[in-house]
Amino acid sequence: MERRLLLVFALTFLIILAFQPLVKKYGPQPAAPKPEQQTQNFPAATVSPKPAPTLSREQIVPPAGPGRQASSEDETVIENDLYKIRFTNRGGQVKSWILKKYTDERGGPLELVHAAAAEKYGLPLSLWIYDELLRNKVNSVLYVASQTGSLSAPAEITFEYSDHDVAVRKNFSFDHTYVVRVETSVQYKGGELPAFPMWPAGFGDQTNPSSYASSLIEYQYNTKIERLAIKKISGGNTLPGPFNWAGVADQYFSAVFLPDEPQNVAMVTRRNSIDVPKDRQKPENKETLKVDILGAAVGNPKGTTVEHIYVGPKSLPVLESVRVPTISGTDQDLRGLVNFGFFGIIARPLFLWLKWTYSHIVPNWGWAIVIQTLIINIALLPLRVSQMKSMLKMQRVAPQIKSIQEKYKKYSLRDPRKQAMNEEISALYKKERVNPAGGCLPMIIQMPFLFAYYSMLGGTIDLRHANWLWVRDLSSPDPWHLMPIAIIITMLFMQRMTPQAGMDPAQQKMMNLMMPVMLGVISWNLAAGLCLYWSVGNLMAIVQQAVMNRTELGREMREMMEKRARKKDK
């Protein structure tokens, strides 16, 4: 009976689902709600629907009573040495935000407004309101601007709009930094309404699928920093504060809001999608990919929002110079926007050292990497000597270890007597002063440097578009893949030149081939700066190994290896 009852419920549910399209198509349609019937019911921590397309100019209804609205669309341009921002009084929002000190992939001025995404999901410094109809209205009507034309910072501009239902005021102040002061207020039928300033959809430097994948929603309170990847973000979700700063960032640029009252703030996350060309280098290829594009709106859920917004590069010196006081008197700290990853304790000093080399020794980031790599490898030379000594000791005790292993060969791994074998081997190591891990020590020490370089190149804007010889951008893959090929070749030489203690010759030959190929595949699409560090390090290791092979220690090691190989052949 229970199975039959479940079957009836399942069939009923399927029938209801099947009839939904027919009911929508042929059933009575509900009357559209009138704008004046909207009630002030906009909770501060709810999930709102995705925004509808912005109203067109023809769809905007003039105010029914006394109000404040412009009769035509005008623009206001604000400039300083760092940016050029073009406002429109339609919605009192930003149409263009150009960073003067940075270029796009074609060498032109860098436009941070993502044109395609803005057309669908809104322009920067538009307002997020939980009611979709009202949100579309305040972001589409014509505001009265306090100033039009071209202005030089320091400057201030105010946009105002009002009708019989809603009154909006947006004030922006500019100085000589990347920081803009923002103050917004919305009143609906006489009451304060939460309305959050937005950076709604991505950045103009996102030109390929991988650049969209690097987008994050980031925020900080006290010393805790959270970085939300795309898969953890739902569009229209509200994250309650407090926040010292919060916003959206990609690999090299960010738009983060710094509230004057960190305790009274919330953030609405935006996640939408757009279609982008699969290969921008081939315009004839019409294939597209759907990618996610992120945005954020940050403001006071209780009413008027007063905050600053930093729109600019994730450059450590620039971020360290940002000082925005809060009501409590403390300064906001944006240094956390540069993410050096797990190995930040190594990556940050490496970057500061690299930057010093670039500023004081050679004004080219590629050659600065080469010099830094040479110094690091010279510093690691004593470890390479220690590695060879450890391998030589391992070769000397190898026959005794093999004898001990043969003695306990008849026992299974679970047999308690197998433990005695490990104790005998440990005692032998102690007697002969052999460290089994000594041969791996240089590699263990070098790996953090490699990972630190990886995170450093991915997290600092200084290497963006930095050229070196044939490489146009050290933060992107080598266009000709010469350095990954160099890594394969140098690894092959290193494997042949470096003695492999305790390894069967047949296995050694296989490893000598497989390891370089595998590392070459891994490095094929890594940043050219990382491959430069890697390949120069390999060249230094080859030179050092060649010198060591000619010393007494190296000759003794080689003779022992040859003797062992002859014994293996017999």
Reported as a single tens digit per residue, the pLDDT across 347-396 is: 888 899 999 999 999 999 999 999 999 998 888 888 777 777 777 777 77
Strand-strand pairing, 127-128 and 93-103: unpaired
Q: Cβ distance 494 to 541 under 8 Å?
A: yes
**Positive or negative, the Cα torsion across 335, 215, 49, 88?**
positive
Q: What band does 222 get if pLDDT is binned at 50, 70 and 90? A: confident
Among 202, 201, 209, 204, which Cα is nearest to 280's?
Answer: 209
Give the whole-angstrom CA distance, residue 324 versus residue 330.
8
Counting other chains too, the contacts that 451-454 makes at CB distance below 8 Å and 24 or more residues apart are: 451/341, 451/342, 451/343, 452/340, 452/341, 452/343, 452/344, 452/346, 452/347, 452/350, 453/347, 453/350, 453/529, 453/530, 453/533, 454/341, 454/526, 454/527, 454/530
Question: For position 39, what pLDDT does the model report?
Answer: 33
Q: How far is CA 252 from the centre of its chain?
A: 8
By residue count, the chain amounts to 570
Side chain identity at residue 181, one-letter code? R
Question: For position 40, what pLDDT does the model report?
Answer: 34
Q: What band does 329 get if pLDDT is binned at 50, 70 and 90? A: low
Residues 6+ apart with CB under 8 A from 187: 166, 167, 168, 193
Q: Pull the structure tokens for residue 484.
A: 């990954």
Give the whole-angstrom CA distance, residue 88 versus residue 57.
13
Q: How far is CA 147 from the centre of its chain?
A: 37
Mean pLDDT over the full length of the chain: 81
Question: For position 279, what pLDDT does the model report?
Answer: 67
pLDDT 10s digits, 448-497: 877 887 888 777 788 888 899 999 888 888 889 999 999 989 888 877 77
**Average pLDDT of the residues in 150-168:** 94
Give the whole-angstrom CA distance, residue 349 versus residue 456.
10
Residue 25 has pLDDT above 70, yes or no: no
- For residue 155, count other CB atoms closer than 10 A to its CB: 16
Question: For position 49, what pLDDT does the model report?
Answer: 35
Q: What band does 288 get if pLDDT is binned at 50, 70 and 90? A: confident
pLDDT 10s digits, 252-279: 999 999 999 999 999 999 999 998 887 6
Exposure on the CB side of residue 385, measured as CA atoms within 13 A:
11
Query: 11-25 burial, b if ≥16 CB within 10 A, otherwise e?
Result: eeeeeeeeeeeeeee
Side chain identity at residue 242, one-letter code? P
Side chain identity at residue 215, one-letter code? S
Q: Cβ distance 68 to 257 under 8 Å?
A: no
Q: Pull the structure tokens for residue 458.
A: 């991915």
Helices (H) and strands (E) in the chain, counts: 14, 20
Give the whole-angstrom CA distance, residue 250 versus residue 22.
44
Residue 57 has pLDDT above 50, yes or no: no
**Average pLDDT of the residues in 228-245:** 91
Residue 41 has pLDDT above 60, yes or no: no
**Average pLDDT of the residues in 110-138:** 95
Question: For position 500, what pLDDT does the model report?
Answer: 57
Residues 6+ apart with CB under 8 A from 1: none
Domain ranges of the chain: 73-339, 350-569
Classified as helix, coil or strand, 305 is strand
- Taking phi over 0 as left and psi of -120 to 50 as alpha, with beta for the rest, 420 belongs to alpha
CATH of 73-339, one of 2.30.40.10, 3.40.640.10, 2.102.10.10, 2.70.98.90: 2.70.98.90
- 């703030």: which residue's tokens? 265
Q: What is the pTM of this model?
A: 0.76
Cβ neighbourhood burial of 222 (10 Å; 0-12, 13-18, 19+): exposed
Q: What are phi and psi of 142, to 5 degrees?
A: -90, 115
Give the whole-angstrom CA distance, residue 473 versus residue 106.
12
